[in-house]
């Protein structure tokens, strides 16, 4: 079992920055990847970014490339999401998720709200 706790959400003006953090605990040895998803009211949840357990391979949604960076802090069992040049379209509840054996996102955090105003 893995537990995920997000932090760092808040409200910022367009062009601002936020840094989200996701702390993993429990059976962290079983984690194969970590990712961030987001969901705005009335819209489907969408994938944002993923980092593999090797801490090197990453992938990003096209709309956040060059603005968002996912990174791993191995000693703390933590992944961060640095978000720069935020836009109102980035407003959503952001969820941390972890892949178990089989590559399926089976562990989820409670989410943290990000609001970007114009």
What pLDDT is recorded for position 103? Answer: 85
pLDDT at 54 exceeding the cut of 90: no
pLDDT of residue 5: 97
Res 101: pLDDT: 84
Question: Token pair for residue 49?
Answer: 């970014």
- At 58-80, the pLDDT tens digits run 999 999 999 999 999 878 789 99
Query: What does the pLDDT average to over 92-109?
Result: 94
What is the structure's pLDDT at 73?
A: 87
Which residues contact residue 102 at a Cβ distance below 8 angstroms, ignoring those fewer than 6 apart?
none
- Per the prediction, the chain carries an average pLDDT of 95
């Amino acid at each position: 079992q893995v537990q995920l706790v997000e932090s760092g959400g808040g409200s910022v003006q367009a062009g601002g920055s936020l840094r989200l953090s996701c702390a993993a605990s429990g059976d962290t040895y079983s984690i194969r990847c970590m990712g961030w998803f987001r969901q705005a009211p009335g819209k489907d949840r969408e994938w944002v970014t993923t980092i593999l357990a090797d801490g090197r391979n990453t992938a990003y949604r096209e709309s956040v490339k060059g603005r968002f960076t996912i990174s791993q802090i191995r000693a703390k069992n933590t992944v961060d999401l640095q978000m720069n040049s935020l836009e109102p379209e980035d407003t959503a509840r952001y969820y941390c998720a972890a892949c178990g054996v089989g590559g399926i996102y089976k562990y989820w955090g409670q989410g943290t709200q990000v609001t970007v105003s114009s």
